[in-house]
Every structure is written in C-alpha cells, then in structure tokens.
Structure 1
Amino acid sequence: MSMFKPSMLTLALVAAGVVSHTTFAAEETAKKVEVIEVKGFRASVVESINTKRFSSEVVESISAEDIGKLPDSSIAESIARLPGLAAQRLDGRASKVSVRGFSEDESATTFNGREQVSISDNRGVEFDLYPSEIMSGVTVYKTPSANLEAEGIAGVIDMQTIKPLSVDERVVQINTMYEKTSFDKLNPDGDDAGLRGTFSYVDKFADDSVGVALALTTMTSPNQEKRWNAWGYPTFGDDDKYSILGGAKPFVRSSTLERDSAMFVLEMAPSDNLSMVFDALYVDFKDKKILRGIEIPFAWGQGTISEQSAVFDEASGFVTSAITEGQRVVVRNDYEERGAELSAFGFNTKYNVNDSLTLELDASHSSVDKKVWSLESYSGTGRGDNRGAADTIGYTFNGGNTGAQFSHQLDYSDYDLIKVGGPLSWGGSAALNDKYGVSETEYKNQLQDGFLNTPTVEDELNTLKLAAKQALDNEFISSVEGGVSYRKREKNKVSEGYFLTLSDFSYPDNTGMMVVPEQYRLGTASLDFIGMGDMIAYDSKAMVADGQFSQLAESLTKPDHTTKSWRVEEQVTAAFVQANINAEIANLPLSGNVGVRYVKTKINTQGAIARNTGNGQLAFTPSDVENDYSHVLPSLNLSLAIDETQTVRFGAAKTLSRPRMDEMHASLAREYKQQPDDNGNNWEITGGNPNLAPKEATGLDLSYENYFSAEGYFSAALFHKELDVWTFDGSVEEDLAGVVNPSTGEVPENTTATRKYKENGGSGDLWGYELALTLPFNLFHDTLEGFGIIVSHTGVKQDVKDQYGKEYKLPGLSEKIQSLTVYYENHGFQARTSMRKRSDFKGEINGVGFTGVQVDIMGETIWDAQLGYDFGEGGFNSLEGLAVSLQVQNITEEPFTALSGDNALQVRDYQDYGRTYMLGLSYKF
C-alpha cells in the first residue's frame, strides 16, 4: 500500500534530533534537507511539540534543551503550565498537580515509566521532592494505552532522565543560583536567602556503545509567609442567623527547604541487538519551618464580647468587628521539621531476537522514608484558666479576603509578662493528670505546656516487567506487543504525639510557669501585619533537646493515633496485549493502538482496634484484613493525519484510581459518647474500610491538532469522563452487644453504633474542552524572529452525585484553567514571562495531627518572569558556555486563600508569600 511520506518540515525536525518516532528511511532522507537550528528555550518548545505530535496517545510534554535546563526552577511549576493541568501550592511552593479537574490522588506518577512511591499518606506525589535540575523532560498521558505501567483516572505523569547515548557530545556543566525572598527575616532565626548548585556530566565511550550521565544537586531554598488563620465561625441567634469569629491563629513562618540529590544513568549498547539502561536517583529532603504567632479565642475564649462594639454585616449576618474584654491568649513558638529520603533504581534491557521480535525486561525499586517532628510550644501570662493578666482585644475584618486586624493592650514582647507554660485548659488527658497526681482539683487538664507530633511514613515499591514486541508485515497492524508485570508496594504509617509539660512542674509544690532562660531568647518576631505588634521569640527546639519539657504519649488515652496508624500491602499482577496501528483510510494515514490490560490486585492491611478500658486508658486488638479485586481495562488511541500538518485524534479507555491508603486501612476506634448522635447512637466507630474498591471511569477524547510551523501548533480537544464508581463519606450501623460503657463498666441499653467510613457509590460525569496555541511571531515577519507566545485555556464541568443523590464537588476541580507564556530568545538574549491561573477549587491541606482536610480554596493567578543571556550565543567567543539569568517568582504577590463556607468574609486561611528573586549563573565546559 502507499505509505505516509514525511513532509520537508518533519524531515527537518528529524535531522535536528527532535523527532523520536520515525522510520530509518525517513532519518536517512532527512540528511539531505536543510535544517534551521534553534537552541535554548525555543529548542525545548520544539521538542515538546514533537513529543505531542508523534505520540500515539493524547499527551502534553515539557522538555529540556540540556540536562538541568527545564524552563522553571520547580518541576511542578513547569507541569502546571501545560494545558489542562494546575498546581496547588504548599507553603508557597507549587507541589500537588491536578489533571483535567481531578486531584493528585486520581493520577499516577512514574519515573522513567515506573510507578513511584510518595511521601504523603496517600498515592499523590508532592513534586517539590523531585529536583527539576536532573530531569530531561516530563510527559503527561491524558489517554492511556495498555502498555503503560500505571493506572489513574486523570492520567499518568512520567518524569524522565537523560539517555546519555542520545547526546551528541560530552557535557560538563555547572549551574549556580542565589535565591532571595522579598520579605526581610520574619523570624530572627529564619532565612531569607539561599543557594542552589548543580554539577552535571554526560559522556560516551567505547565507540559510543557506553554512555554515562551524572547530576549532583544541592539546594537551600528559603520561603516566608504572613498567615491569617481562623478556627471557625460559630453561629447564634434564631435559626443560626448570625455568625462570629470563633478564634484565630495568625503567625509568621520562615521555612528553609534543604535538598541534596544525585542522579546516575548508565546506558550500554554492546551490539546492534542489545541495549541496557541502569538509572538511579537519591534525594535527601528536609523542610524546616519556624512559626511564631498568637492564638486568640473569641467566641470560644474566656473574654466577654461587648455588644456595643459588635458590627454586623446585614447581608450575611456576620459580625465583622467586635471587642472582647478579659481575653487570654496563647503565644506560640513552634518548630517543624519534615525530612525524607528517596531512593529509586531501575534496570531495563531490550534484546532484538531478530529483525522483527524484541524482548524486554524491566526491574525497579523505589522507597521513601519520611519523618515529621512538629513542635508546639505555648506561653502566656498564667497557667490554665483565669490566671495571669487578661487583655482587651478587638478585631475588624478588612475588605477582600485578607482576614482581620486586631487591637490589644498587653505587651507580648515582654519576657517578664509572657512565660512558658499552658495558659488555657486545652490539655485534657487522664494519663497526664494521673502522671502528676492531679485529680478533682483546679489544675486538672491544665498540664499541657506544648505538644509534639511525630508521624512517620515508609513506602516501598518493587516492580518486575517482562514484555515482547513482534513486528508484522500487515497493512493495518504494524506490530503486536504484550507482557506481564508484578508490583508489590508496602506503605506504613505510624502516628504518635506527646504532651509536653515543663520538667520542673510538680503538684502541688511547683505549679507555675517558666520565665524563658536567657540562652533561649532570640528577641522578638513582628506580628504588625495583623496589628498584634511584637511577641517574644525563643528557641523551643533547643529547649526540648535540653530536657526543659517532659513527654507523655498521647496514644495512651486518645484513639486518634490508632486510626492514623496502619500498614497496607498491595500486590498488583497485570497482563497486557496491544496492537499498534499503521494503516490508511481513504488515502489518509491512520496510526495508534488498541489494547487491553488485565489488572488483579491483592490487598493486605494491618492495624489495630482501639477501645477505652474505663480508666481513661486504651486497649488494642490487632486487626488484619485481606481483599482482592480485578479489572479489565480496554483502551483505543487513533490518530488520523488529514494532511502533513493536521491531525485528528480519538481516544477511549476504561480507567481506575486505587483507593487512598488512609481510607482503606484496617485500624478502628470505638468511643462511647454521653450524647447520642443524629441516629440516636452513643457508640461511634471511626477508621478505614479495607473493602474499599477503586474508583472507575470510562473516558472519551477527541482532539484536532494543526502543526503549522516547526515552533508552532494549535490544538482543540473535547474530553468526557463517566464516573462509574467513586468514593464518598458514609456510615452504617453495627451492633456492639455485650460491650460495656467504659465510664460505668456496664452494658448500655442502646448497643447500636454508628460506624463512619469511606464507601463506594454514586456516579456522575465530568467533561470539558482544551484550547492550546504555540505561536512563533516570525510567521508574521522576519524581524520578529525569536518572539513567541504559548497560551492555553481549559474549561471543566461536572455533574456528580454521592450515594445519597446529593451534589458533590470533586476535589481538585477548577472550572477554568489558563496559562500564558510570552517569550523572546535570539542572539543569546532570553526573556520570558509566564502566567498560570485557576478558578476556585477544593483542595487538601494538613489539619490537626497532619490529617488531610478538604477546604475551599480561592482561585489564583500567578506571574513569573525570567531574563537570561548566553554569552556564546551572543557572539562572545571567549565566554562560550557562560550564561546568566534572573528570575522573579510570584511577581504580583498572589496570596493563597481558603474560605470557611460560602461567605467570602469568613476566611479560613490568608497566606502572603511575597516574591522570590533568583540570580543564576551556568557554565558549560
């Protein structure tokens, strides 16, 4: 039959080394055509376009011209600029990525095609763990094919390292960068400046049969924040018509992200029939946070609200301003350290048995070990309730979503007034009272002077894949491939917390508070941004290390740690077969693939069932549950070339997302409450659901792509997901006949319990469209050579109902996602400004005890800019290889804002990160 003949444009791209999916004949022909070479950011654009153009699936891609030269300092920021993708910021850094309206839990992340572990409690990857400096590119698969070794309803995000045998010449390069925040030090012991450095080496040996790539990176990156945080907004009055600020916890945060990493790739091709690649990645990640602020209770505090001072917003009934008298607060000096070590190894070998049959073996291991050490240190004017000086504190909510401004009378920077110790009765613990011999006295439940959270996560994944590919002499099917794979993943989480009490506290001899010793004093931290002035700043971490506090495990009396501690083992056996299409229909080239993937999953989850023994202590019973399920996942990808520049794509597939691990474990807690719930039950059971099934969806994609230039294209896409199975909050009644009430030691009359957990059910649809344009301005006139624009817009809608038929908003879904990049690159000069924008969405943040909490996050528009100059490209031959750059992140100082409910005045979080400046220098030998 008549085969597709590549255009001169395609051949030029092949000769430039940016097209990977071509025939040998096309490569030979390409040598005869003239090639216009582009470098730098423009070369990355060309390579990304061609990855999209020549892929069998619907994909988006970012590429690096050279190792360590992705377009952004953060890989998450680069990913978030792709059409249909958006990032959620964590402590000011882009971290979690959603695809086409689905949260990070619904997409899989792979590294060189292999699924990766995560440092979170679940499967969603936090991308700030991965250095952009070691990546050569990222490909996002929006439609799956049967041979992809990962599953996700939203798609698969694959990060790639360099293949050294594909590099034309030796590369030895050093990159350095100085980083500075726009805020001066918000904490006296914080950082407002940092450094990054990368050394990379790529070379080939033995007649280009052995290639080596090595990258070493180190980073000390500062980040600072002024944060307003509200506890909540209780209602009052007839029909709860009015609402008021329940309490606030504003603070200033100074963080330093320290990350050291090493990447190594060994590629060998000892013969034309055999190729082998070994890659390894090691990341040592440590995020240190210093937080200082003042917790101010209003509706839930000791103070009395002056009715004359209250100002109401008539439209919403919200108290926008008020004054409380006799108010006592908690001054906080907190420290948090989140550390993780990631190791990943992979080996891949391919052997050509003959001209048509190829065998493949792939084996990999990845593991992560995360430890969190989160310290809360309390201080105030007196221990417990009604001791020490009280304050008169007022608040007024500002316009917009910036939270409230406060007024006060006490001096919180006075070390003689503000002393270490628990100023409010928040430390209720029977074990803590027993430890100090405090029973029915005025000091009961007033012994908590701080708290220490120490959760740990271990995640390990081992995989093995065997596959074969047979080329066919067929007018429709060019090849058939198939294989089997086995993945074993084990994730363990241990949750623990400790009550802290001053070491010299004794009852009844020494029940006071501690004046901060001189050796721990650091001066003051300013809270002027919310009107609270200066507050004392001391080194709480050093005080704990020096034994100034005694510790008592919270898990002795509180069952929460039981339901947050678990082990999940997951064994996935998969088999696939796929036919790769290369045909003609009506003289138009048709390519793609059709296949089916069978996946069998076996689950074993272990935990504990906690119950109260009646004396305030807990007893535990081991819990071990097994579950298994299997799925058949068909997929189809078709690409019809209308002509040499225009392509129509169609995709259809059945997909799944595995349950969140913090929702499918076997740990439970039983608690008897004095007041019955809405079902009339006093018993409550909380925990995981080991029988939770994966979420399932059927997806359809249709897109039109026009590659009108080597550096430009336009695409329009429609997508639809029918959600067949989803996960929602649910409850069921269980009978606890014979179980005694721990407070009385007798079996209660009502033995029915309400068990709260996640369950499968509901259904719905998600649909949307994507528009993307990459336009080089040289198409309009030669004088505009080097100018260009990259723009995309995505619209997403949903109609999802839970198992009770109620409307449900998918986490991570923004109805509008937009990105814009305007660039100029020519004669060594580079300039680029980028914008990413998303509308409101539900996102997950860390709540009490590092439990994920869903909140309403307001939409945001983030602008970044880069300037750079390559001296060699600019004609300075003596400075060949030297380049400098200047970046500004978050130019408009866009805040992160989360609301509590529908009222825009009821701000839960307002986080101001300021700007970040980066000055970089690189030298390529």
Structure 2
Amino acid sequence: MTCKTTSRGPSARNQRQRPQRHVLAAACYLALIATAQVHAQEAQAADEAVAQTAQADATVETVKVTGIRSAIISAVETKAESTSIVEAISAEDLGKLPDISIADSISRLPGLTMQRKEGRGEVIHIRGMSEQFAGTLLNGREQASTGDSRGVEFDQYPAELINGVTVYKTPDASLIGQGLSGTVNMQTVRPLDFGEQRIVISGQGEYNSLGELTDGGNDKGYRVSASYVDQFANDTFGLAIGVARLNSPFQEKHYKSWWWANTSLWGAPQGAKPDDAIALQGAEGWVKSRDTTRDGVMAVLEFKPNDTWHSVLDLYHSKFDQEEWMRGAMWTNDPWWNGGQVTYTQANTTLHGGVPVVTSGTLSGIEPVIRNDNNLREDKLSAFGWNNQFKWDVYTLTADAAYSRAEREQSTLETYAGMLGGLDVDFTVPLTAGYASYGLPDLSDPNAVYLRDPQGWGHDGRMEDSQQEDVLKSFRLDLNRVVESSDFLRSYDVGFNYTKRTKDKSAQVYFADLPGRVPTLVDPSLLQAPTSLGFAGMGDVLTYDPRALLSRYYDVYLSESNDDLQKDQAIEEEIRTFYAKANLDIDVSDSVRLRGNVGVQYIHTDQRSDGVAITGAGPAAVRGVGASYGDILPSLNLVAEFGDGWNVRFGAAKELMRPRINEMGAYANVWVNVVDGSGEWAGSGGNPKLEPFRANAVDLSVEKYFGDASYVALAAFYKGLESYVYTQTIPWNFAGYEFETTAPPASDWGTFSAPANGGGGYMRGVEFSLALEGSLFHEVLDGFGTQLNASYTESSIDPDGPGGSSTDTFPGLSKIVANATVYYEKNGFSARLSQRFRDPYRGEYSYIFGQRSYRYTLNERTIDLQLGYDFPETSSLSGLSVLFQVNNLNNEPFRTEVSDSNGLGLFFPEEYTEYGRQYMLGFRYSL
C-alpha cells in the first residue's frame, strides 16, 4: 500500500502549525508496513527485525507536478506567502514561461495589461497607468531603458532566460526602485536552489500569416535557446548559463485618416463639398516589414561555502537589431495646400452624430507622395550584479553592487516620389474602423513616377541618426537582525542604497536633395517588385532600396532646425535612499496570525541637466541646471491569516515616481516679449527642476486559497496623487541667457511654459482574480483548469491640467481590463487558450521625427493558443516536448480614433493596422 503526495504542499504559510506533507506521507507509509508485519510475526524480536528491514527498503512514491499546473502552483504560493500585495508568474522549468514574451506573460496578471507597439507586446500598464509610472527590476535591481524615458521595453528580455516575475502592487521600505503604479521584478535562476543538473535546448520555427508584404522583408523566422545549470563541490558552487536567439518577422498593413474638419466654417470651402459637411483632410496607406534579431545571454555564478557567506554574481546581456522597410502612399487634401488646387468635384455624405460627413465621391488635384523608407535600430542592454551575504549569530549583512547600461543607435531614412501633376481619384471612406478605398492610378509605373517632392516639404528625402545611452550604477548595504525574544517582532532591517543615473541623447538630421531639385526617373535596374496597397484600395507603388539610391541620386547635407538641436541633452540623477523596516509576525489567537512589515524610506535626489537653448543670439549650451529635494516615504503591509486558507491584506504607503526623463532636459526656446510691450523674458521647453509624482496609497485584499493551484481574491486600491506633471506657465530665472534687443529686460525673471508639478487627483479601482482546478468539482474534470481576472479603474486626473480637454484621460488608463485562460493538462498533453481584453485608452506613441504623442486607442481583444505534448519518462523520447503556438489568433487590428477639428465632440476613425497571426512550432529537450 502506498501513500501518495505532491512534490509541493499547498503553502508554507501554516508550517508553524503542522509538519510538512511529505513527512506525514512517509510516516503513514512506514506505519502501515509495521502494522502488517506485527500481524504476520509471532516473536517480538523477529517483528522488530522485519520492521527495520522494511523501513530501510521503503520508498515514498512522489507524484511530480509539471507543466502549466506546476507554474500556477508556484505563482499561487508566491502570492500567498508575500507580505505585500503581489502577482506572480513562474516557469515550471528553465525556458518554460507560458507565453511567447515576458510582456505577454505579465500582461495576463490581475490589474495589468500591455500596449502593443509595432505588433508586439513591448510595455506594461499597471492599474491604469502607463509604463512611465512603473518600476522595473532584474533580480531586485533597477534597470536602464532603451526608450526615451524610464519605461522599460520588455521585448529586450528573452522569456527563455527569465525564471519568474513578481509584480509588487504595494511597496515596502526595502524595495528600491519602486514605481507609483507597481514594481516588476524579473528573476533569473539560482543554481543552488535548483538542486540538480539540468541541460535544456529548444527551437521554434515562426511564420507570419500576412506573408512577405514587400521586397526585403521576411515572413519566416526562428527562435533557439540553450541553458545549463549545475552544482559542484558538494553543492557549494552553482553555475547557470543561458543563451537565446530570436529572428522574428513582423508585418504590418496600415491605413490612417489624417484629420477631419469642416473647413467651410473657416472660410475655406472645398468645391462640391456641402458647406455644412465635415470631410477627411488627408490619408495614408503603407505596408511595413521588419526583421528583428535579438541575442541574449545570461550567467549566474553562486558560491555558498558555509552558512556564513553566500555570494551570487549575475550577468545579463542582450543585443537587439531591427531593420524595417516601409512602402506606401500619402497625401493632404486640405484647402490651404498648394494654393487650394485640391477640391471635391463630387461629394456624397452620410450623417454621423447628426452631422453630414463626406464618405464618397471624387477628389481632384491630389498629388500623392510615394514613400520608400528604411529604418535601422540597434539596442544593447547589459546588467551586472554582485550580491554578498554574511551571516553571524542573529545578524545578516548584505552588500550588493549593480551596473545597468542601455544603448540605442537608430537611423531613419525616408525618400519621396510621385507623378507629375494632380490626380482625380474616386474614393470611399468608412466612418467605422477599417480600410478605405481610393481609385489611384498605377503608382508603380517606372515611366510615370519620379523621385521628387510632391507635397512641398522642401526636400526630397530626410535622414535622422540618433544615439542614446542610459547608465545606472548602484551600491546597497542592508543589515538584518533576527529578534528571538519578541512575540511580535521577528526581525528588522536597516539599509542604504546609492544610485547614479546618466542619460545622454543626441541626434543629427540630414536632408537629401536631387541635383537642382529636378524630378528624376529611377533606373529600372534599381527597382524592386512593386508593393501592393490593394488592401486599402490604393493599388501598387514604386519600390526600391532607398539607401542604395542615396549616394547615386541625392546630395546629402546636415540641416538641423531648432527642434533638432534641442534633441541633444543629458540628464544626471544621484539618489540616496536610507531605509528601516520592522518585520512582524504575531499569533493574535489560536486561529489568527498577523504578519507583515512597517518601515520608512528617506530618499534624497540631486538632479542636473544639460541642453540647448535657442535665443535671439542663436543656439546656446545650457549646463548644470537642476534641483535637490528629499522625500520621506512610510509604508505598512499587514496580512491576517484566519486559517482554512483565508487571508486579508492591508497596505498603506506614501509613494513617488520620478518624472519623465525626456521632460527634464534643459532645452528651451527663449525670447523677450516686445509685442505686448512688457519687455520681459519668456520661453518654453523642458524643466530640469521637475520633481516627482507623489501619492498616498491604500490597498485592501481578501483572499481564499483552496487546493494547490486554486484561489479567489478581491482587491481594492486608492491612490491620491498629491501632484501631477502637466504643462504650465511658471516663473523662471533667465540669468545667463542672451538675447539681441535694444532694451534689455530690467529683471532676470520672466515666465516659462514647461512641464511642472501641479494639482493631482485620485486613481482608484477594484480587482478580481480566480484560479480553479476542474478536479475540485468532479473527477471527470481532472486536468482542466481556468484562470480569470478583471479590474475596473477610474481617475479624476486631467493630464492637461485644470481647464484641459474633457476628452483626455490618464495615459494608459483602460477602465476595464480582463483576462481569461482555460487549460487542460494530463498524460503529457497540454492545451491553453487565453484571451486578453482592455477598454479604450489614451496610448503614448512615437510620432514623426521621434516626438511623443497621445492617441485614443480603441478596445482590444487578443486570443493566444498553445498546444503541447511531453513524452513520458517510460518513452525513449523522455525529456522531449513539442509545442505549437499561435499569437494573435484572431488577428486583432490596432485601431485609434480622432476628434473632429471643429470642436463638435465627434470622433472619427484614425488608424487601422493589422499585424497578422504568429504561428510557432517547436521543441524543447531537457536532460
């Protein structure tokens, strides 16, 4: 007879009240054997001998939980054991996170979602706030960013090299680098904790359903990875090494309406357009094909020669290369372009919100520009950390040194072509999200399409090369003391952390002109297969490699506007954090246990910025402008355990998030007001004196755990933001600025329009999460399970400040976010179907020439599928798993909308982009 148990108990949270489950199983097993022997033997001596032999030979059968269910068990245990309110994902084994990317996995957690950029999950929004409000750590250390601010781009971190992720929704005093919305901590494997040698290799082939949309792009790719974990010298030395390569195609079919207005109200009628009708004033359609290659490597060296010293060295590096081809057509048809030559010769209208809108007809006189662009990007991300723990008696001293560096080099090249003269085009445009249709002539005719500047932009091509470097250096000391004599204080921590961050950005802008700016036909030998824009009713467009034509046809010269010069800036921050924390554990009664922590941080910040100011005397360098300030941040986390799996959590804290780095630059446009006669200084630009977002937060969560992989939780949170950053007109000292004027200002003080700290408001919401195993209901459902979560979030904050637009919402805020996953796992077979939903939100995106813009993004509902099979241990293929995945199974488009320009409060479709489905078929082999 055999007593069975799982390899992991439901939780360690009740270990003080009962022994481990596997110990009980072993005792049960031995007791049964001993009882049988007593009945079989007559003599006491023989009875004892047989019992001893049985005990020596007995083995306890262990049912090893693997796969999806194992990852859920580990994540649920992390959630239950934490003193903070957290969400977690865990890999059942190396390279087995349950999604294609880290961003996909994190975005399925309660209260979290992701924003798709260029068809892939790149950044995470927590509790209705954009990525700029979240802290991101790797093994507990703050990470540099390849983006233009602080938000980390998660596609830089291969899922194959990450072993788990914990998202802290409430802070504690020892958490460094925390965010206002939450803190994401990615973890790599610890080889000594792993406890066994493991070698894993995996490979996947990838295909994009849109196919090869344009010459130079691919629709097929691959992913390969390998990892090795081992322990040596009697488990005192551990080593983990992992490498991963991704070669992934991304495809894009894109259509965008530029802007909608009734220009007749501004004294600019448009031919046959009715004077009371709104009309579209420009449009674009293109395809993009991106080839992305990412190489990542991770290494962990762990040394623990005794119970006194424990040392861990972490190394991580990734290199991300992307080449993008864009081919398309675009035009403006507003009545002010080209002397009003574009007009409607026929216009049919449809009522939209009670207002007539032109939805079909004929446009006459448009001159579409054919774009052939090539964009190159190279990112490098490195992170190193060395952690040493020294234990003696009741003390533990931890010293941690870390270095994180992110570099980006980018080159964007655009070239223009078009026919000579205006075109008459029949069109149909939708008033709901979707593609339009335009009866354009053949824009791929090599005898009719010239290299030229059809839209009058003043140049025949433009290239921008930019560089960015973000470096974080930190050192931390922490002392923990165990308190053995107290009934409530288990230990306390005191510590100090020093971080220095520098972020440097620069850009060079070049124009490309044809000699004499004379329209030129392209040599047919340099042309590629035409690119089809048939999905948007635009036909084919002329296609070529713009970099191959650059030296042959164009004169290229540096031409930087004032805006371009102001992209050069440097920001430096020095942050000193002092903290103290008491760790509590109290038996309130026989059935109630209270644990948690109370603590405080003091953070002192020194920040400085360099930039370029544009004055009447020309460009001038501005150096060393900044600010110094301090913050006291108390925090409290309590967990009341009532037994039978019931937990109630409470958190309260003062939180901060440092301001956006790209708004802290010392760039400025400066002038003296002579028009209004005041003769005072005035200006606009960045604000190197900008202080953080600050908030008071309260969290409450009620949780019920039942079974190893099942729980239900209901949480509520409230964040009262004391300050929010929005553009204001503030007093400013202009000492040191030069301006050519006959009457210099009498005072150095004037007014400056810049991002500044202002009044705040609230963010509040509720979150529901549920994980259930089918076997809880009936044995027929054994192997089935589900995970569900939903959140509702709202805010009173107007990001434009008092009196701002009533339609603008907090960046990243979707009122409703929901995720649903159903899975089956049994006898080696596994299947998982997941759907992610988010309400409309105000997304933050890169705009033309690298500027940032906010756009109204419509709701998204994406579905992912995963099927797999693990060969059993009895098979000759033991250790081999095969996996089939489909990302974006429903080919969910990306959609935005835009309000009319007449202030009527009407919304019209703006962007409609499809990215296709990603199919992946592969294997994983573990030794």
Deviations along 1:881-913, one digit per CA (max 9) or x if unpaired, are 111111111111111111112777622211111
1:597 aligns with 2:609: no
Equivalence for 1:347: 386
**Quick check: 2:346–2:363 contact (8 Å CA) kept in 1?**
no
Q: Which residue of 1 aligns with 2:893?
A: 895
Deviation at 1:21, TM superposition (A): 7.3
Determine the C-alpha separation between the residues in 1 that align with 2:522 and 2:663: 43
Shift of 1:327: 1.6
Task: Show the counterpart of 1:551.
Answer: 556
What one-letter code is carried by the residue in structure 2 that aligns with 1:379?
Answer: A
Of 438, 463, 467, 1:406 maps to 438
**Aligned match of 1:376:** 414
User: Match of 1:529?
Assistant: 535
Q: Does 1:131 align with 2:163?
A: no
The alignment partner of 1:270 has SS state of coil
1:916 aligned partner, one-letter code:
Q
- Secondary structure at the residue paired with 2:455? coil
Partners of 1:364 and 1:514 in 2: how far apart? 55
2:168, 2:149 → 1: CA distance? 21
Among 722, 725, 731, the alignment partner of 1:727 is 725
Shift of residue 173, structure 1, vs aligned partner:
1.1
Larger Rg, first or second structure (1 or 2): 2
Matching residue's letter, 2:162: M
* Residue deviations 1:493-526 (CA, integer Å, cap 9, x gap): 1132111113xx04xxxx4222222443112000
Query: Which residue in 1 is equivalent to 2:563?
Result: 560
Unaligned runs of 5+ in 1: 1-8, 382-387, 428-447
1:297 is displaced (CA, Å) by 1.3
SS of aligned partner of 2:865: strand
1:496–1:684 CA distance, 2 compared to 1 (3 A): farther
The answer to whether the 8 A contact 2:180-2:695 is kept is yes
Once residues 167 and 180 of structure 2 are traced to their aligned partners in structure 1, the CA distance between those partners, rounded to angstroms, is 13
Structure 1 position 562, deviation (Å):
3.0
Counterpart in 2 of 1:421? 452
| Alpha-carbon distance between aligned partners in 2 of 1:734 and 1:630, rounded to the nearest angstrom | 22
After superposition, the C-alpha distances for 1:831-863 in whole angstroms (9 at most, x for unaligned) are 000011000111111111111111111110000
Q: Which residue of 2 aligns with 1:483?
A: 495
Partner residue, 2:522: 516
Specify the code of the residue in structure 2 equivalent to 1:309: A
* Counterpart contact for 1:18–1:47, Cα < 8 Å: no
Q: Is the 2:135–2:184 Cα contact (8 Å) retained in structure 1?
A: yes
SS in 2 for 1:249: strand
Whether the aligned pair in 1 keeps the contact of 2:462 and 2:512 (CA below 8 Å) is: yes
> Partners in 1 of 2:418 and 2:12 — Cα distance?
65
Give the SS at the match of 2:185.
strand
Gaps of 5+ in 2: 27-61, 268-275
Cα shift readout 1:21-45 (whole Å, capped 9, x = no counterpart): 7879977675333765310111000
CA shift digits 1:224-253 (9 cap, x unpaired): 111012332244234896532221121101
Residues 1:683 and 1:734: Cα distance change in structure 2 (over 3 Å): same
Distance between the aligned counterparts of 1:682 and 1:301, measured in 2?
A: 36
Contact 2:200 2:228 in 1 (8 A): yes
Q: What aligned pairs does 1:428-439 form with structure 2 within 5 A after superposition?
A: none
Aligned to 1:438: none
Q: What does 1:240-279 align with in structure 2 at a 5 Å threshold?
A: 242-279=277-314
Q: TM-score, normalised by structure 1?
A: 0.89
Equivalent residue letter for 1:161: T
Greater mean alpha carbon deviation, residues 838-847 or residues 779-788: 779-788
Which of residues 758, 762, 786 in structure 1 aligns to 2:759?
Answer: 762
Q: How does 1:625-640 map to 2 (within 5 A)?
A: 625-640=625-640
Query: Is the contact made by 1:856 and 1:901 (CA closer than 8 Å) also made in structure 2?
Result: no
Query: Does residue 213 of structure 1 match 2:211?
Result: no
How many residues were matched structurally? 868
Amino acid at match of 2:294: R
Instruction: Identify if the C-alpha distance between structure 1 residues 345 and 547 changes in structure 2 by more than 3 Å, giving closer, same or farther.
Output: farther
2:809 — aligned with what?
809
One-letter identity of the residue aligned with 1:495:
A
Q: Where in structure 2 are the equivalents of 1:132-281 lying within 5 Å?
A: 132-238=159-265, 242-281=277-316
| Partner in structure 2 of residue 696 of structure 1 | 694
Alpha carbons 1:647, 1:704 under 8 Å: kept: yes
Q: Compared with structure 1, are the counterparts of its residues 594 and 542 closer, same or farther at alpha carbon in structure 2 (3 Å cutoff)?
A: same
Using the alignment, how far apart are the partners of 2:150 and 2:555 within structure 1? 36
Deviations 1:121-148 (A, max 9, x none): 1000111111111000010000000000
Q: Counterparts of 1:566 and 1:21 in 2: how far apart (Å)?
A: 51
In structure 2, C-alpha distance between the alignment counterparts of 1:734 and 1:56, rounded to whole Å? 45
Equivalent of residue 322 in structure 2, options 287, 301, 323 = 287
- Looking at structure 2, the residues matched to 401 and 686 of structure 1 have their Cα atoms a distance apart, in angstroms, of 37
Alignment pair present for 1:111 and 2:113:
no
For 2:920, give the aligned amino acid.
M
* Pair 1:593–1:242, CA change in 2 (3 A): farther
Question: How far off is 1:313 after superposition?
Answer: 2.7
Query: Is the contact between residue 334 and residue 375 of structure 1 (CA under 8 Å) also seen in structure 2?
Result: yes
Indicate the residue corresponding to 2:838 in structure 1: 838
Name which of 508, 511, 514 aligns with 1:496: 508
> Could you tell me whether the CA contact under 8 Å between 1:563 and 1:688 is conserved in 2?
no
| 2:477 aligned residue | 466
Q: Is the 8 A contact 2:239 2:302 kept in 1?
A: yes
Q: Which residue of 1 aligns with 2:620?
A: 620
Report whether the alignment pairs 1:582 with 2:574: no
Q: In 2, distance between residues paired with 1:17 and 1:204?
A: 25
Distance change (3 Å), C-alpha of 1:733 and 1:321? farther
Quick check: 814-823 or 151-160, which moved more?
Answer: 151-160
Matched-pair identity in % = 35
The within-5 A match list for 1:56-95 is 56-95=83-122
Tell me which amino acid in the other structure corresponds to 1:920: G
Structure 1 residue 298 corresponds to structure 2 residue 333: yes
Whichever residue aligns with residue 446 of structure 2, its letter is Y
Q: Select which of 360, 369, 374 maps to 1:321.
A: 360
* Aligned residues of 2:432 and 2:908 also touching (Cα < 8 A): no
Query: Is the alpha carbon distance of 1:513 and 1:684 closer, same or farther for their aligned partners in structure 2, counting shifts above 3 Å?
Result: farther
Q: Closer, same or farther in 2 for the Cα pair 1:134/1:749, shift >3 Å? A: closer
Cα root mean square deviation, aligned:
2.8
The 1:192/1:750 distance shift into structure 2, 3 A limit, reads: farther
Q: What does 1:6-25 align with in structure 2 at a 5 Å threshold? A: 16=8
Distance in structure 1 (CA, Å) of the matches to 2:526 and 2:488: 76
Q: 1:722 to 1:349 in 2, by over 3 A?
A: same
1:477/1:579 contact within 8 Å kept: yes
Q: 2:422 aligns with which of 390, 393, 405?
A: 390
Letter of the 2:156 partner, please give it.
Answer: L
Question: How far, CA to CA, are the matches of 1:843 and 1:596 in structure 2?
Answer: 34
Q: Could you state the TM-score of these two structures normalised by the residue count of structure 2?
A: 0.89
| Shift of residue 805, structure 1, vs aligned partner | 5.5
Shift of 1:220: 0.6
